[in-house]
């Protein structure tokens, strides 16, 4: 939100108050530093008579970070939902005072506060950013007059970090616009808007700088960011509240590097994903949305994939597994699926898992509506009526997950499906949550619940899957999210269009999301809206099967490969098998993502932060630390690829390329996607290509790329159950491989 009119003036009706001095400082029992800061300098006793004062608290929630809370009025009784954070109570700051400075140390992180309340943040001796006193502001905005003629004001609390010369900002959730956020105004407000605009399904109030720090705003409500778009040297964030809480996360130059370390620390605070079932990394196939299908259709798709030698892991039933107008009643449409339990059993006999679509809404014609309304299980209006509207489902209500009994009721319906044979759920929607004139069971502020609803919705579903299937088998396919949602993977990019533009914007959104603490991401192969050309479909198949999770899904047309020409079948077969062969590599780094929070699918700048050529790159990415993937986004088949310094090897052809420059590939085959491996990398390749979950050590091959003449390296390979771990020792002596008894291929310059 913009409050200023140039560098010196405020907009009409705006008044601001910023701290002028540290008037009083105390250390509370938990180690929090409390600063009492008048917004006018206190020259004498008379200056203590009234006026706006701000209370600033500085805490150390975890190692290497500082929590900042700025408050005007502390007597606010509104109940705001709080993110579920994993703080470390054992972390106590080292506090010292020197030359009117307050110096606060938290391991390698350091915060210096001067007597005017200017804050500077460091990692060791490296300066990261600062927050000037004038950039911590309590704003009031005149909103007209009330019925008695008195002026009405709305209060906002705001803060801003400094933008250094050449600094770039990333993150803020799954955003489909420009990857670098500089120059953008961004509001944290989940919306069901598709992928072709500035709205987002997953708004995450966290951004990261390529200077090696991150800022997490601990507010679930509508945080409004100006990323160099108001004052060009500032990243400001504001919320309509009497207080504002945020964390400055200081990256270290450790084994991860500054930027990755920020994600390690951020996900330690907000949560990391679990170890996912290895079967989830295989190919998913959907019925699509509004298409006609029954058991015969489903079985023809499943059998058709097998007949065409396209490995399949999961079959997904979209909305119409239930009867239309009744979503959600969690009941199979018996006219279409007369024997659902038998059908699920027959599908699972073919070695597949089953996913079904759900949402948190209950249509008025659903058999569950009367019960839910009578028992108070839905979000209500202030007069006690059930909140309803006719968008999406006629007269639909929304389950109130702040009501423990409503949560149990909803989960009980899912339990029945899981025990029937369903493996997991696609948790759709959760964005269009009302804010005006509504009441939650626990009294939470509706505006702050708008984004947070996605968290409690997905958490409720994830918990019941984990309870019934076991934690190692639990997975969702979710669309909406807020901070912490990464604990309930996987998330997909929502409704994209079946063209190259949407394919590219989907990748931008995915990379933005993985810069926001999410480790896994998927997208609709072939696009959701409309029907793609054969050309786009084949390119999307290659891209989708070189992503962390891969699902063929559409709106009004099927996404089975044989609907897109003969070659599409070969393309799907080739890349599905390629991904399955790469599972020892992919799954091991997926398990490491659960340990560190470093994403499996990552942007170039996260992996190569010192290379200024990758700052804006959003059309290629790293799959794990060693494989660079560059999808084709043009009907010509042409693609430009930037390779960072070093020697890179084409994974498919073994051709080698010198890094530090761009390469142009012309009219590339549909059976190919540019994929390059870093020098000294060891890529473990499995002995099977027909499924993603198998014994990765049986038939394992190690491909060693451009190794140094003398190299020793331990390669960690996780078992497909995510529990066992194997360490394979790779030793290269004078260019000759030795070490563990595994087939090893050394790949040198051609």
| Residue 399, C-beta contacts closer than 8 angstroms, at least 6 positions apart | 360, 361, 362, 372, 377, 378, 379, 406, 407, 410, 457
Confidence of residue 401 (pLDDT cuts 50, 70, 90): very high
pLDDT digits (tens, 9 = 90+) for 222-280: 999 999 999 999 999 999 999 999 999 999 999 999 999 999 999 999 999 999 999 99
Average per-residue pLDDT in the chain? 97
Q: Are 486 and 267 in contact (CB under 8 A)?
A: yes
Q: What is the CATH number of domain 278-359+403-596?
A: 3.20.20.80
Judged against a pLDDT cut of 90, whether residue 150 lies above it is answered with no
pLDDT in tens, 565-613: 999 999 999 999 999 999 999 999 999 999 999 999 999 999 999 999 9
- Both tokens of 447, joined, read 């505006």
Q: Is 428 a catalytic residue?
A: yes
pLDDT in tens, 476-535: 999 999 999 999 999 999 999 999 999 999 999 999 999 999 999 999 999 999 999 999
- For position 613, what pLDDT does the model report? 98
Q: How confident is the model at residue 702 (pLDDT cuts 50, 70, 90)?
A: very high
> Cα angle at 271 between 408 and 122, to 5 degrees?
150
Give me the pLDDT at residue 145, please: 86
Q: Looking at residue 739, what is its pLDDT?
A: 62
DSSP 571: H
Phi-psi region of 149 (alpha: psi -120 to 50; beta: other; left: phi over 0): left
DSSP codes joined into one string, 345-410: HHHHHTT-EEEEEE-SEE-TTSTTHHHHHHTT-B-EETTSPBP-B-SSSTTBEEB-TTSHHHHHHH
pLDDT number for residue 438 = 98
The boundaries of every CATH 2.60.40.1180 domain in the chain are 601-747
Query: Which residues of the chain form CATH 2.60.40.1760?
Result: 8-77+89-269
Residue 742 has pLDDT above 80, yes or no: no
Mean pLDDT computed over 198-209: 98
Report the pLDDT averaged over residues 680-685.
96
524 in catalytic set: no
128: how many CB neighbours lie within 10 A of its CB? 25
Q: What is the pLDDT of residue 459?
A: 99
- Catalytic one of 135, 174, 252, 431: 431
Domain with CATH 3.20.20.80 in the chain: 278-359+403-596
Measure the CA–CA gap between 73 and 52, rounded to whole angstroms: 9
How many CB atoms are closer than 10 A to CB 297?
14
730-747: average pLDDT? 74
CATH topology of domain 601-747: Immunoglobulin-like (2.60.40)
Domain 8-77+89-269 class? mainly beta
Burial class from Cβ neighbours inside 10 Å (0-12, 13-18, 19+) for residue 726 reads: middle
Catalytic residue among 174, 210, 318, 428: 428
Confidence of residue 748 (pLDDT cuts 50, 70, 90): low
Pairing state of beta strands 550-552 and 283-286? parallel
495 flagged as catalytic: yes
Q: Is the pLDDT of residue 553 over 70?
A: yes
- Give yes or no for residue 747 having a pLDDT over 80: no
pLDDT digits (tens, 9 = 90+) for 80-111: 999 999 999 999 999 999 999 999 999 999 99
Q: Which of 174, 210, 252, 495 is catalytic?
A: 495
Q: In this model, does residue 750 exceed pLDDT 50?
A: no
714-727 pLDDT, tens digit each = 999 999 999 999 99
Give me the residue label for tokens 């012309």.
666
Q: pTM here?
A: 0.97
């Amino acid at each position: 939100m913009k409050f200023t009119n140039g560098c010196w003036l405020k907009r009409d009706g705006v008044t601001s108050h910023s701290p002028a001095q540290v008037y009083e400082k105390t250390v509370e029992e938990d180690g929090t530093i409390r600063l009492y800061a008048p917004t006018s300098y206190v020259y004498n006793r008379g200056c203590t008579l009234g006026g706006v004062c701000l209370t600033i608290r500085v805490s150390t929630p975890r190692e290497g970070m500082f929590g900042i809370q700025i408050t005007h009025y502390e007597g606010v009784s509104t109940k705001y939902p709080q993110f579920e954070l994993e703080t470390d109570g054992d972390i106590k700051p080292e506090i010292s005072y020197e030359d009117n400075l307050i110096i606060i140390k938290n391991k390698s992180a350091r915060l210096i506060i001067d007597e005017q309340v200017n804050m500077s943040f460091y990692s060791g001796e490296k300066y990261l950013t600062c927050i000037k006193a004038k950039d911590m502001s309590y704003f009031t905005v005149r909103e007209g007059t009330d019925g008695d003629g008195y002026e009405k004001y709305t209060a906002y609390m705001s803060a801003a970090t400094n933008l250094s010369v050449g600094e770039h900002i990333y993150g803020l959730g799954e955003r489909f616009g420009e990857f670098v956020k500089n120059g953008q105004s961004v509001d944290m407000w989940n919306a069901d808007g598709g992928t072709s605009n500035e709205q987002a399904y997953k708004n995450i109030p966290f951004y990261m700088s390529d200077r090696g720090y991150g800022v997490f705003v601990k507010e679930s409500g509508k945080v409004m960011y100006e990323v160099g778009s108001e004052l060009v040297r500032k990243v400001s964030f504001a919320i309509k509240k009497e207080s504002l809480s945020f964390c400055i996360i200081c990256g270290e130059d450790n084994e991860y590097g500054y930027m990755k370390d920020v994600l390690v620390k951020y996900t330690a605070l907000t949560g990391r994903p679990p170890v996912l079932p290895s079967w989830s990394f295989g190919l998913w196939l959907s019925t699509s949305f509004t298409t006609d299908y029954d058991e015969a259709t489903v079985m023809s798709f499943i059998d058709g994939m097998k007949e065409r030698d396209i490995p399949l892991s999961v079959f997904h039933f979209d909305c119409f597994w239930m009867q239309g107008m009744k979503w959600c009643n969690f009941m199979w449409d018996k006219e279409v699926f007369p024997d659902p339990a038998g059908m699920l059993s027959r599908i699972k006999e073919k070695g597949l898992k089953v996913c079904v679509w759900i949402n948190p809404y209950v249509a008025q014609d659903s058999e569950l509506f009367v019960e839910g309304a009578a028992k108070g299980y839905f979000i209500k209006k202030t007069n006690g009526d059930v909140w309803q509207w006719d968008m999406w489902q006629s007269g639909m209500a929304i389950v109130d997950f702040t009501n423990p009994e409503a949560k149990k009721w909803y989960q009980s319906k899912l339990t029945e499906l899981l025990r029937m044979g369903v493996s997991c759920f696609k948790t759709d929607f959760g964005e269009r949550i009302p804010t005006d004139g509504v009441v939650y069971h626990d009294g939470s502020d509706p505006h702050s619940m708008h984004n947070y609803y996605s968290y409690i919705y997905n958490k409720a579903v994830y918990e019941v899957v984990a309870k019934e299937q076991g934690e190692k088998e639990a997975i969702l396919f979710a669309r909406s999210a807020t901070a912490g949602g990464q604990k309930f993977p996987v998330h997909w990019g929502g409704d994209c269009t079946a063209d190259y533009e949407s394919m590219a914007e989907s990748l931008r959104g995915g990379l933005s999301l993985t810069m926001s603490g999410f480790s896994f991401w998927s997208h609709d192969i072939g696009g959701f809206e409309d029907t793609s050309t054969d050309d786009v479909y084949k390119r999307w198949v290659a891209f989708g099967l070189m992503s962390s999770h891969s699902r063929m899904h559409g709106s009004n047309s099927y996404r089975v490969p044989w609907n897109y020409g003969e070659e599409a079948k070969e393309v799907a077969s080739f890349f599905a098998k390629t991904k399955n062969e790469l599972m020892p590599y992919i799954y091991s780094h997926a398990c490491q993502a659960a340990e560190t929070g470093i994403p499996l699918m990552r942007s170039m700048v996260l992996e190569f932060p010192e290379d200024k050529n990758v700052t804006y790159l959003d059309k290629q990415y790293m799959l794990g630390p060693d494989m660079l993937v560059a999808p084709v986004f043009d009907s010509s088949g042409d693609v430009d690829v930037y390779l960072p310094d070093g020697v890179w090897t084409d994974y498919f052809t073994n051709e080698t390329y010198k890094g530090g420059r761009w390469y142009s590939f012309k009219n590339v085959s549909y059976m190919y996607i540019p994929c390059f491996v870093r020098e000294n990398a060891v890529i473990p390749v499995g002995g099977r290509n027909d499924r993603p979950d198998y014994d990765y050590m049986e038939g394992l091959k190690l491909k060693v790329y451009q190794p140094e003449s003398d190299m020793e390296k331990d390669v960690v390979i996780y078992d497909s159950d995510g529990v066992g771990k194997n360490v394979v020792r790779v030793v290269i002596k004078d260019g000759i491989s030795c070490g563990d008894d595994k087939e090893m291929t050394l790949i040198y310059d051609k």
